[in-house]
Amino acid sequence: MEILFIGYISAGFPSQVEENLLESISMEEWLVKNPSSTFLVKVAGESMVEAGILPGDYVLVDRAIPPKNNDIVVVRIEDEWTMKYFIREGERIILKPAHPKYPTLHLLPEKDIEIFGVVIAVIRKYR
């Protein structure tokens, strides 16, 4: 799907904006670099609200991207799924929430853990 890109808008102080048809953007091509390894997941829970990911949002997850420190990842731990910041410290994997009421998880790789993929976009519909 192509969407017309007409310019920039200030999210700070009001400023004049000229409507100029700059280009059209394919949302699919812009968001999804690896179509065969990218999945859409609906968010339940509040552990990532301070990262701007709210319950009811959708996240695009790319399984082809190896996680780097501070990437947001979708992870399976034993038989449960979660989404957290990924941090590797030596042999340990730390999964850190973006909400103070949720615990930080300290894991060793030999535990039953699977990094499903890296979150590449958040999609929120307002209406």
Nearest partner of 118 among 50, 32, 49, 52, judged by Cα: 32
**Could you say which of 33, 84, 111, 125 is catalytic?**
84
pLDDT tens column, 52-100: 999 999 999 999 999 999 999 999 998 899 999 999 998 889 999 999 9
In our burial notation (b when 16+ CB lie closer than 10 A, e otherwise), range 56-81 reads ebebbbbeebebeeebbbbbebeeee
Is 125 one of the catalytic residues? no
Is 84 one of the catalytic residues? yes
Which residue intervals of 17-120 are DSSP H helices?
Answer: 27-31
**Could you say which of 47, 68, 96, 111 is catalytic?**
47
Q: Domain map of the chain by residue range?
A: 33-123
Q: In the CATH scheme, what is the homologous superfamily, with its name and number, of domain 33-123? A: Umud Fragment, subunit A (2.10.109.10)
Q: What is the pTM of this model?
A: 0.84
pLDDT tens column, 95-117: 999 999 999 999 877 667 899 99
